Amino acid sequence: MDTVGTREDDNMTWLSVAMIAHNEADCIAASLSSVRWADQIIVVDCDSDDNTAKIAQKAGAEVYREPNRRNLNVNKNISIDHCNSDWVLVLDADEIIPYDLAGEIRKTINETDAAGFLIARRNNILGRWLKYGGQYPDWQLRLFRKDCARFPAVHIHERIKIDGKVDKLTLPFDHYPYLRVTDMLRKGTFYAEFETKYLKDKGHKVSSFGLIIKAGIKPAFRFIRRYIFKGGFLDGIPGLVTAYFDAWNQAVRWIALWDSRRSIPEGNEYE
């Protein structure tokens, strides 16, 4: 097993962890504990009204406060700007770095000429690690040289842009986004609202016939592809629920776009 170096090792390249968080008091302590070996931990608290900031400070993080911007990547860039190390690891508050991966990260960044690394992510949903349905390996570009990377901050699901060679690490990290179905509903609504505004700002429109295609037929095929052809059914009920919500997210943004552009006759509004 690789050992995890610290800043006391003179030959080690320094590494910062960059994180943004909004009302993550239930999970942020475990996430920060998994990277306590890092040389610096930055947490940008996005208008939390729970104990997120206090927990982060207690864990040794440098905490900065920013508005809870709808485009999360704006605040991610701010968290990166606060880092003062050669390398940055971007981590969400519901993600955990296993010990062996920590060792691989430390060893790799001191030996590589790459500018960034993709890391496989294990998505643990409703209490189960999803191996099928296109859920694994869920490659994420999270480790990079600070002076070589930036989020364009245009779309919520965009990847960070790297100026240089990108390699892959061999070990995965863990993601716990949805402990309960209510979490899927809450986050799904947030993403749908952002996607709807994004489509509207880009000038997209959808007709009644187009809505049948985009909100009916395409999501249905997406569900079949992930649940049947990619083996999502092998992950039991969590696999079924995940495939369903994935299709739902694709459908609801177009339904919301259609709804936002339709006119309501006078007299039909609620008083």
- For the stretch 11-27, pLDDT in tens is 567 999 999 999 999 99
Confidence at residue 33, expressed as pLDDT on a 0 to 100 scale:
98
pTM: 0.88
Is residue 52 within 8 Å of residue 27, measured between CB atoms? no
Q: Where are the alpha helices (DSSP H) in the chain?
A: 28-33, 52-58, 72-81, 99-109, 181-201, 208-212, 218-224, 236-261
* Domain extent listing, the chain: 15-178, 181-261
Nearest of 94, 79, 90, 134 to residue 116 by alpha carbon: 90
Question: Residue 9's pLDDT band (boundaries 50, 70, 90)?
Answer: low
* Residues 173-216: tens digit of each pLDDT: 999 999 999 999 988 888 888 888 888 888 899 999 999 999 99
Cα-Cα end-to-end distance for the chain: 66
Whether domain 15-178 has CATH 3.90.550.10: the reply is yes
Question: For residue 260, how many other CB atoms are within 10 A of its CB?
Answer: 11
* Residues 46-90: tens digit of each pLDDT: 999 999 999 999 999 999 999 999 888 999 999 999 999 999 999
Q: Max CA-CA distance within the chain?
A: 73
How far, in Å, CA of 62 to CA of 44, rounded?
8
CA 264 to chain centre: 36
Residue 101 has which token pair?
């991966």
User: Amino acid identity of 213?
Assistant: I
Confidence at residue 269, expressed as pLDDT on a 0 to 100 scale:
54
Over 70: is that where the pLDDT of 264 sits?
no
DSSP β-bridge partners for residue 87: 15, 145
Radius of gyration of the chain (CA): 20
**Alpha-carbon torsion, ordered 218, 241, 182, 219, to 10 deg:** 0
> Looking at residue 3, what DSSP letter applies?
P
Q: Alpha carbon of 142 to those of 76, 171, 195, 270: distances in Å? A: 11, 13, 23, 47
